[in-house]
Amino acid sequence: MRQNIVAGNWKMNKNLEEGLELAKELNDILKANKPNCKVVIGTPFIHLSKVAEIVDKELIGVSAQNCADKVSGAYTGEVSASMVKSTGVDYVILGHSERRSYYGETNEILKEKVDLALANDLTPIFCIGEVLEEREAEKHFEVVKSQIEEGLFHLSAETFGKIVLAYEPVWAIGTGKTASPEQAQEIHAFIRKTVAEKYGKEVADNTSILYGGSCKPSNAKELFANADVDGGLIGGAALKAEDFVGIISAF
């Protein structure tokens, strides 16, 4: 059966010292109070190897926030999936809306990243979601469907089984506006149906689909209570151990 997951996305926050402090604090809290879900933290690249060393792997999975769409070579400033894996981490967030909109990542590019992540034994946390105009024009279903089709549906059923999906409506990211539990359930059910149509019910039932976008301790419980919401991808509230743990304890 699918896992419930609470994953933090630190984005471009915390220098190395601050990041290690947060990871250690979180590890101590979760050690004393075992979580009822899988917990993952997505740190900047430079934190990965040290964070992977200090956290207890049973308690906290560690994730990169991106990887290159090329294997290796003359790509100044890029970090490959194999380099990410060599730091000792197991996850990579791919296709975050900030990568899609500020860095021009298309579904075509993301498809390459997904393949390289999987080839290097990393679990992709693959983000999808519509912008406000698309939601207002009631195009959100077709937008997320094409993001999934173009970024992931080249995979075999067995390989697709390694993907974690994160639905993040762009209008809710960092805005304080959250999708209502009904809106989240409606689109998560649609996403699961889209996966089922391609790979069958069993694969769809085993796929974790996280919600992201202004998720916080005060709304996590009602979001996660929905049948098709299997946890969250958390930005702002992942930067303070207390808030992040507040969300984890929604399970």
Catalytic residues: 96, 168
Q: Which of 213, 230, 243, 248 touches ligand PGA (CB under 6 A)?
A: 213
Q: Which of 233, 241, 245, 250 touches ligand PGA (CB under 6 A)?
A: 233
Mark residue 138 as left, alpha or beta (left: phi above 0; alpha: psi -120 to 50; beta: remaining). left
Residue by residue, DSSP assigns 185-234 as HHHHHHHHHHHHHHH-HHHHHT--EEEESS--HHHHHHHHTSTT--EEEE
Site for ligand PGA in 166-195 (CB under 6 A): 168, 173-174
> Is 87 one of the binding residues for ligand PGA (CB under 6 A)?
no
> Is 210 one of the binding residues for ligand PGA (CB under 6 A)?
no
Angle between helices 241-248 and 217-224 (to 10 degrees): 20
Segment near ligand PGA (CB under 6 A); pick from 81-89, 129-137, 142-150, 234-242: 234-242
> Is 165 one of the binding residues for ligand PGA (CB under 6 A)?
no
- CB atoms closer than 10 angstroms to residue 154: 12
> Is 223 one of the binding residues for ligand PGA (CB under 6 A)?
no
Write out 2-14 in H/E/C secondary structure: CCCEEEEECCCCC
> Is 231 one of the binding residues for ligand PGA (CB under 6 A)?
no
- Which residues bind to ligand PGA, rule: CB under 6 A? 9, 168, 173-174, 212-215, 233-237
